[in-house]
A and B are shown apart, each in its own frame.
Chain A
Amino acid sequence: MKIRVNEQEVEVGEGATVEEVRRRVKPDADVVIHNGFPAPAGALLREGDGLVLIRRGKHPDRQELESLLVARHTPGVHEKMKQGKIGVAGLGGLGSAVAVALARMGVGRLVLTDFDVVEPSNLNRQQYFLEQVGRLKTEALAENLARINPFVGVSLHNLEITPQNAPSLFAGVHVVVEAFDRAEAKAMLIDTVLREMPGVPVVAASGLAGFGPADGIVTRRVADNLYVVGDEVSEARPGEGLMAPRVGVAAHHQANAVVRLLLGVDPLG
C-alpha cells in the first residue's frame, strides 16, 4: 500500500507500523507525526496515511522542506510559486508581511528594497523582532525569511527607489508590490513601473490606517495592470495610526493578488 512520508510517496507492506517505517526511512527521526498527531510507535498504518518524520533540531533538506511546507497548499500551486520572482518596494508593515506570506508560499525569488532601519515603533505591525531594532530592514527581514524558508532566493537593495533605478532593480519580476508609506512615493513607483515596465502588474495599497472595519479593505483594479488594496480613504495621520490588524489585512490582500497573478488568474475573480 502507498503512504506519504514527509510528503513523498512510499510503498509499505500491509500491516506496517509507524515504527517500522521510521526505522526504514529515517531512523534518526525522533519526532513522529501520524496523520497530524504525535504517534505511538506501534500504530498501524493504512493506505493513504501521512507520516512526518523529523530529527529534532536538524533542518530538513531543500526537497524535504519544500514538500513539508507546501503540504497544505492546493495541488499545482507550488510549481508556479517556485517560478515566481516578485519585487517588494518598502519593507514596513505592508512589505514585511507580504514578503513573509510569499516566503511561506514558496515563491522562488523576492527582490526586497528599503533604506530604513528597524525602529521600536515598527514592532506594532511589522514583521521584525525587538533584538533587530537598529538593523537594516533588508537584512533583518532576510534573516527572518530564512528562518521560515531558507530556500527562497532574496535580493536585497538597501537604497531609496527612484524613477531612475526602479526599472533595473525590478528587472525580470512578474509583479511589483508597492508597499511604501508616503503617498508621493506610492505615486512615483506606480507611475514608473506602469510607464517603464510594460506588462508588469503593480499591486499597491492605499487606505489602511486606523481600526475601521476590516471588510472595508478590498482589492480594486484602477487601471490595466494596477491593483490597489485598501479602503481608499483611511490615511495615516495624527489620530489615525497604522496598526497590525488592518495593515495585515491589506498586506495579505496584496500577497493574495500576487499569488493569483502568478497562477494566471484575475486578482478580482
Chain B
Amino acid sequence: MKITVRYFALLREAAGAEVESVELAGGSPLLGDLLGTLEGRGDRLGEMIRERPILCAVNRKYAGREAPLEDGDEVAIFPPVSGG
C-alpha cells in the first residue's frame, strides 16, 4: 500500500522533500512499521527519525506508533527542537 509522508522541519531538510510516497508491504501495517521502514534506510533521515523525539499524525489526527495505516493515508512527522 502507498502512504504519503509529509515531513516537517529538520526532517524535510534531511529528506530533501516535503512529501514522499512510501510503499509499505504487508497486510495491516501500523504507523510504527512505516517509521521502522524509514529508520532502516540508513540515511540521515532514518537516523533522525530514530534518534530524535518525533510527533506523528495520520490524516491530521495525532497518532502513536500503534496506529493502523490504510492505503492512501497521509502521515505527518514533526520533530520538535529544543528552546524555550
Chain A residues in the interface with B (C-beta under 8 A): 90, 92-95, 179-184, 186-188, 190-191, 194-195, 204-209, 222-226, 228, 230, 232-237, 242, 247
Chain B residues in the interface with A (C-beta under 8 A): 8-10, 13, 52-55, 57, 60-62, 64, 76, 78-84
Assuming the A-B contacts A228-B80, A242-B83, are A183 and B52 also in contact, with contact meaning beta carbons closer than 8 angstroms in the complex? yes
Contact A209 B83 (CB under 8 A): yes
Assuming the A-B contacts A95-B84, A183-B52, are A206 and B64 also in contact, with contact meaning beta carbons closer than 8 angstroms in the complex? no
CA distance A206 to B55 in the complex (A): 12
* Contact sample, A vs B, 7 pairs, CB 8 Å cutoff: A187-B80, A207-B81, A224-B57, A228-B80, A232-B10, A235-B81, A242-B83
Assuming the A-B contacts A206-B9, A228-B78, A232-B8, are A223 and B83 also in contact, with contact meaning beta carbons closer than 8 angstroms in the complex? no
What's the nearest-Cβ distance from chain B to residue A214, in Å? 15
CA distance A195 to B83 in the complex (A): 24
Contact A191 B57 (CB under 8 A): no
CA distance A184 to B80 in the complex (A): 8
Give the dominant DSSP class at B's interface.
loop
Contact A234 B83 (CB under 8 A): yes
Question: B residues within 8 A CB of A236?
Answer: 81-84
CA distance A222 to B54 in the complex (A): 12
What's the nearest-Cβ distance from chain B to residue A207, in Å? 6
Question: B residues within 8 A CB of A180?
Answer: 84
Contact A223 B60 (CB under 8 A): yes
Contact A186 B53 (CB under 8 A): yes
What's the nearest-Cβ distance from chain B to residue A230, in Å? 8
Assuming the A-B contacts A222-B55, A226-B57, are A235 and B8 also in contact, with contact meaning beta carbons closer than 8 angstroms in the complex? no
CB nearest neighbor in B for A91: B84
Assuming the A-B contacts A222-B76, A232-B8, are A93 and B54 also in contact, with contact meaning beta carbons closer than 8 angstroms in the complex? no
CB nearest neighbor in B for A186: B80
CA distance A92 to B84 in the complex (A): 6
Assuming the A-B contacts A187-B53, A195-B64, are A208 and B83 also in contact, with contact meaning beta carbons closer than 8 angstroms in the complex? yes
Question: A residues within 8 A CB of B61?
Answer: 223-224
Assuming the A-B contacts A232-B9, A233-B10, A236-B83, are A222 and B53 also in contact, with contact meaning beta carbons closer than 8 angstroms in the complex? no
Contact A233 B9 (CB under 8 A): yes
Question: A residues within 8 A CB of B82?
Answer: 181-183, 186, 209, 235-237
What's the nearest-Cβ distance from chain A to residue B75, in Å? 11
Known: A207-B81, A232-B9. 20 other contacts (CB 8 A): A90-B84, A95-B84, A183-B52, A183-B79, A186-B84, A190-B55, A194-B62, A195-B62, A205-B84, A207-B83, A222-B8, A222-B55, A223-B62, A224-B61, A225-B62, A230-B83, A233-B10, A236-B84, A242-B84, A247-B84
What's the nearest-Cβ distance from chain A to residue B14, in Å? 11
